[in-house]
A and B are shown apart, each in its own frame.
Chain A
Amino acid sequence: DTGVSQDPRHKITKRGQNVTFRCDPISEHNRLYWYRQTLGQGPEFLTYFQNEAQLEKSRLLSDRFSAERPKGSFSTLEIQRTEQGDSAMYLCASSLLTDGAGYTFGSGTRLTVV
């Protein structure tokens, strides 16, 4: 498989529960990004990893959100104590370390908090 994989595709959870999403980037891509997209809007940046190091975090990433990329391979995004406002599509993308490289996105995880 040469694409970016995200799991699960859909997640429905009750308010207050914790959820975790997984992203498997393209194997040779060193960079990994998480974005969030709400209905009718463009994706908004959440965080960025280069290998296993988390190098940038948006102010959108409140302390209820945490992301990891152990060993510089797959990444997980956890949301604790979910709120209805967390309902969105969570998109993962990866890219080469090469300057000027473009993104390849996964299919996303649709989160619905009820």
Chain B
Amino acid sequence: KQEVTQIPAALSVPEGENLVLNCSFTDSAIYNLQWFRQDPGKGLTSLLLIQSSQREQTSGRLNASLDKSSGRSTLYIAASQPGDSATYLCAVRLGTGNQFYFGTGTSLTVIP
């Protein structure tokens, strides 16, 4: 079974800072990896999807990287804003099967 770990569990930063969220997974035979954002009591919003053949994806102030061999992905958020406050979840899909395996998330608070 794929184990997905996210560090740190919680992070608090002042507005304007750049920050990095980490995701590690135990089985490197992944198919793709997806980063999501979840606001309290809400569903998940997709941020970035990285295929196993890709090294990174960018969308606006977000950049996600993937290093399959080391079993790691990072989500970089530039110039953080209070509206970025949410829980960020990393999900990994293996080459076999159709389900995503989720980490427990990083709770981000951006202080104005």
Identify the A interface with B (CB < 8 A): 6, 31, 33, 40-45, 48, 50, 55-56, 58, 89, 91, 93, 99-100, 102-108, 110
B103 part of interface (Cβ distance < 8 Å):
yes
Q: How far is the CA of A41 from the CA of B87 in the complex (A)?
A: 11
User: Which chain B residues in 53-112 approach chain A with CB under 8 Å?
Assistant: 89, 91, 97-105
Q: Are A100 and B31 in contact (CB under 8 A)?
A: yes
Q: Which residue of B lies closest to A109 (CB)?
A: B43
Which of chain B's residues have a CB closer than 8 A to the CB of A31? 98
Which of chain A's residues have a CB closer than 8 A to the CB of B31? 99-100
A44, A48, A91: the one contacting B98 at CB < 8 Å is A48
Q: How far is the CA of A103 from the CA of B105 in the complex (A)?
A: 17
Q: A42-B103, A48-B99, A102-B46 are in contact. List 20 more A-B contacts (CB 8 A).
A: A31-B98, A33-B98, A40-B104, A42-B4, A42-B102, A44-B102, A48-B98, A55-B98, A56-B98, A99-B31, A100-B31, A100-B51, A103-B91, A103-B100, A104-B46, A105-B44, A107-B42, A107-B43, A108-B42, A110-B41
Identify the B interface with A (CB < 8 A): 4, 31-32, 34, 36, 41-46, 49, 51, 89, 91, 97-105
Q: Are B44 and A102 in contact (CB under 8 A)?
A: no
Count of A-B contacts with CB under 8 A? 59
The 7 tightest CB contacts between A and B, nearest first, are A42-B102, A102-B49, A45-B99, A107-B43, A105-B44, A108-B43, A105-B43
Which of chain A's residues have a CB closer than 8 A to the CB of B103? 42
Q: How far is the CA of A44 from the CA of B104 in the complex (A)?
A: 10
Which of chain B's residues have a CB closer than 8 A to the CB of A106? 43
Which of chain B's residues have a CB closer than 8 A to the CB of A110? 41
Q: Are B97 and A56 in contact (CB under 8 A)?
A: yes
